[in-house]
Each structure stands twice: as structure tokens, then as C-alpha cells.
Amino acid sequence: MDTFQSTLMGKRLRQFLLGVALFILAVIFNAASGTQAALAEEAADAAAAGVIKVPTLNIPIMKKMAVRGQMTVDLVLDMRDPELAQAIVALMPRLQADYTSRLSRWSAIYQDVRAPANVIGIKRQLQDVTNTLLDSSDAEVLLQGVMLQRRG
């Protein structure tokens, strides 16, 4: 293998490792963004209102083993069953991690940072994760905002 090929492979490996590191950081920061005490207090308020605010999700958009941009998603969960609020609060860290994981995989394939955000596709992915994790369709995902930021 000549030096050009080894340099190219090294560059791709660095880009891939950087992307993986950014994904892991996004999952960690999303999971650590809300404290349990604040979430428990919010659950009591949400049970009365029927709406739970999910902390903002920051999703890296990967293309060709490099980070091409970032997607920021704000959403709330509208509950048809008010007793579901406690279960959602207990599962919030897992919900955030699953949302981040699913949207990272989805955006790498279907979302271009130069195009408008595909809010229909994003909502479908988030609703599917919610229904799977809660084992019911009693909580509806309501998107409040989606922002795409392109890098370089």
C-alpha cells in the first residue's frame, strides 16, 4: 500500500471516529440535560395539563463518514391518558437516547442539510419510538420546531 492510500484511509478513519465521538457526546448531553427532580416536578404539572416537554434533541447529521451538520428538535408529548405521565417521566432518559439514536440513523440516510427539514419523516420516526417504548399509542408526538445547521 502506498502512502497516498494509507493517508486516505487514515483520514477516513479519523472522520469516522470523530463522527462516532460526536454521536456519543450527543447521547450523553441529551441524557444529562434534565435532572430527575425537575422531571418529577414537571410530571406532576404535566399530568394535570396532559403535555410533557421533552428536552431539546441535538442530532448530528452524518454523510460519507463525516459530520455534515446538526439537527435540533424541540417536541412535546401529548398524552391521551393522564396516568401515563409518570411512566413517561420514568422512561425519559431512555426515550431521549432512543430518539437520538433513531434520528441519527434516519438523518444519515434521508435528511440532507441543504434541504428543508422533513418534519413528516421526523415525526413518524419519533412517534414509532414512542409507541414501541410505551407499548401503546396513548402519547402523541407534537413537534414544536426543527432546525438544521450546516457545517462548512
pLDDT range class, residue 147, cuts 50, 70, 90 = very high
Show contacts of 33-40: CB within 8 Å, 24+ apart: 33/96, 34/92, 39/89, 39/92, 40/89
Strands, sheet with 139-150, edge to edge from the N-terminal-most edge strand: 51-63, 66-79, 139-150
Q: Three-state SS for 84?
A: helix
Give the tens place of pLDDT for each residue, 91-104: 899 999 999 999 99
Residue 81 confidence (pLDDT): 80
Q: Please, which pLDDT band fits residue 14 given cuts at 50, 70 and 90?
A: confident
Q: Average pLDDT in the 34-45 region? A: 61
Taking residues 110-129, report their average pLDDT: 93
48-59 per-position pLDDT tens digit? 677 899 999 999
What pTM was estimated for this model as a whole? 0.71
Segment 63-91 mean pLDDT: 87
DSSP three-state, residue 122: helix
**Which are the contacts of 133, defined by CB distance < 8 A and separation ≥ 6?**
91, 94, 95, 98
What contacts 136, CB < 8 A, 6 or more positions away?
Answer: 84
Written as nine digits, the cell of 99 is 430518539
